Amino acid sequence: MIFEHAVKKRIWRAAELPPAENTHRISNELGILETTARLLCARGLDTPERAAGFIGKETERLYDPYLLKDMDRAVKRIRRALVSREKIMIYGDYDVDGVTSVSILYDYLRIHSADVSYYIPNRIGDGYGVNFEAMRSFAKDGYTLVVTVDTGVTAVDEIAEAAALGLDTVVTDHHECRPELPDCPVVNPRRPDCSYPFKQLAGVGVAFKLICALEQDLRSTTLYNAVKFAINRVGELTAVGTVADVMPLIGENRIIVSYGLGLLEHTKNPGLRALLCAAGAAYYDENDNFILKKRMSTSLVGFTLAPRINAAGRLTDASIAVELFLTEYPAVAEKIADELCEINRRRQAEENSILEQAEARIAEQCLPSDRVIVLGDDGWHHGVIGIVCSRLTDKYDLPSILVSFEGQTSDPPSPEDIGKGSGRSVKGMNLVEALEDCSELLVKYGGHELAAGLSIRRGKLGEFRRRINDRANEAFGKGEPERVLDIDLELKPAEITMRLANELYLLEPYGAGNALPVFETDHLVITEVTRLSNGKHTRLTVSGGGNSFTALLFGKPSDELGFSVGDAVDLAYNLDVNEFRGRSAVQLLVKDIRRSEDSDRDKVCPTRAEFARLWRFIQSQAQSGSCRIGVFAGAAGVGEDTASLMLEIFAELGLIQLVSDGQSVSAIPLPKKEKVDLESSEIYSRLLHLHKE
């Protein structure tokens, strides 16, 4: 049985170019490159005013938190608890969004001398969301108010029982709502009856808004002052939670994350400092100054900090991460950070093991017609299957749902065993809506459009697999979900400059909803292939238009590349800046590579006479500086593409050093004692072979 989805190639889909008059105007008024202006226009920022506002990211553009439905009720109840010295419990979730939400609200309430504690359920023992036993224990221990963060919007029964025990609840959440809401203040921008202008706040973003509203009320201050205080106090962790939960980095999220990243760059939080150092992203110099190894970015948060914070909730206890952020003692922070890094290493090993098993099961069990991967297992760790789902969905471009029955003790396994599952989806299929259609088969479910959690009985898994695939067939129609790579702009080699790479920082922070731009450059010739990290990654040197670039392919071994020196290729890539020993250079982070079709460079094989003419010209101009590629072409009597190719062959043979400023090219002759044979060039040999065929 072959799971055919695995072999689908990506379709490169170029974005439509915006009207030239818009890009000209933005470029002229903001003093930026037209390439950068085109990117802004493509993101809907098609006037100088909109573009400037997007680049500016002022905190003054944040909305009044009291526009959120029930915010006034939530603030009133919390204020009463503070005044009366009631015992307050913050109830969070075990992911990064939940951990940071708990941390910022606890920190803020502590400023006001609150009698406050926090509780995060155990992923394995308690499962997702608010649970009855926890609420009963709070009431027994004398708590009178529970404030949920990043959870609670579906806990109708649990909150009703808590109320019967004399325990009030305030819900702050951002997950999809069901028709019935809990009978208490519910602050959630996704409420159907909430007119808040921005619906896509993270759970920590909603908690941040609660803090802004409390600050206005408790200190009788202005919105401006409240926001200024709140973002300086808790902006770092609010940014971390927002990025980690893959919220769209547009609107308020963009402002919050941008400001928070700036604070993170110079963080004073002992926990954040310790975690950055433990992860190898920062260090202390000989003068005990805290130094980041590279500039703070969403990538650093998403791929370095977030996995380590998440690891605690996945394998052990998320409260460890909360303690990291709340401690005031560097020595304690260092110990916790080291522990989180060790837990993360265990998580990585567990993840790779489950992925390997899941891949084998896909090959054995999934049908070619399946549009959702659904697998269950008794031994998979509950805390890791969500990450494995993400990797499967990325690979196959299909929704995936993994269910773990780990911890079930019945022997033999019973149809009543309850497994916990995680799912990831793709554009075109709302996962929560799909689960809603299968709700009678599920014990519990919740989440977002593209990610969700669920609980299901073992005996229902087969029917669930059939039903969710039927739902996917309806969502996708007759066509297969396409593997699409969206291309923002096509660049000529001369347009790949340091200035452009630096201007791309203006569009940060990048993430969901504001993706890192993907560029395409065609007909580049590979001049060097280098294995990296024992063959795990590949570095290419590619040339075009008299320019040479380094291109990195992470996770792509050179022996699986399918290309060699001399091949003409098209690259889809992100543009990056490599900083090494005080020097900066642009580099291409390759998203996809394909063989160039109908390349003009492959249609022409320069003659030896043309090479000789070009070589004489280079020698005659050795001291004359740079010139445009067209001048080289005229001297050799060939086209510009052919002249560029000839220069690359000379460079490959060690006859010249090519230097380009993006507009002009210098070909500097290098000392060479022995005679050089043109056919010793791999590029030239390849051309000869093509033309002999």
Q: Name the token pair of 363.
A: 């090959």
CATH code of the domain covering residue 411: 3.10.310.30
Supply the pLDDT for residue 449. 85
Q: Coil, helix or strand for 419?
A: strand
Number of domains, the chain:
4
Supply the pLDDT for residue 2. 45
Are residue 22 and residue 89 in the same domain, yes or no? Answer: no
How many whole angstroms separate alpha carbon 658 and alpha carbon 542? 13
Compute, in degrees rounded to 10, the torsion defined by CA atoms 556, 559, 563, 564: 120
Taking only the tens place, the pLDDT of each residue in 615-629 is 888 888 766 667 777
Task: Establish whether the linkage from the previous residue to 517 is cis, with ω within 30° of 0.
Answer: no
Burial bucket for residue 286 (CB in 10 Å: 0-12, 13-18, 19+)? exposed
Are residue 29 and residue 136 in the same domain, yes or no? Answer: no
Are residue 148 and residue 198 in the same domain, yes or no? Answer: yes
Domain span at residue 658 reads: 601-692
Supply the pLDDT for residue 488. 94
Count how many Cα atoms sit within 13 Å of the Cα of residue 7 in the half-sphere of its side chain. Answer: 5
CATH code of the domain covering residue 512: 2.40.50.460
Are residue 85 and residue 230 in the same domain, yes or no? Answer: yes
Supply the pLDDT for residue 456. 94
Beta bridge partners of 524: 569
Supply the pLDDT for residue 561. 83
Are residue 630 and residue 592 in the same domain, yes or no? Answer: no
460 Cβ contact list (under 8 Å, min separation 6): 415, 441, 442
User: pTM for the full model?
Assistant: 0.76
How many whole angstroms separate alpha carbon 269 and alpha carbon 274? 9
Residue 494 gets which letter from DSSP? G
Compute, in degrees rounded to 10, the torsion defined by CA atoms 153, 154, 157, 159: -20
Q: Low-confidence residues of the chain, pLDDT below 50?
A: 1-2, 6-7
Residue 537: inside a domain: yes
Query: Is the Cβ–Cβ distance between 491 and 519 less than 8 Å?
Result: yes
How many whole angstroms separate alpha carbon 82 and alpha carbon 219? 13
CATH code of the domain covering residue 73: 3.90.1640.30
How many whole angstroms separate alpha carbon 620 and alpha carbon 623? 8
Supply the pLDDT for residue 315. 83
Domain stop point among 558, 576, 597: 597
Taking only the tens place, the pLDDT of each residue in 384-415 is 898 899 999 988 888 999 999 977 666 788 88
Q: Name the token pair of 409.
A: 């003790």
Query: Is the Cβ–Cβ distance between 34 and 23 less than 8 Å?
Result: yes
Q: Name the token pair of 82.
A: 């503070």
Q: Name the token pair of 680.
A: 């010793």
What are the residue ranges of helices labelled H in 279-329? 298-300, 306-315, 319-326
Are residue 565 and residue 641 in the same domain, yes or no? Answer: no
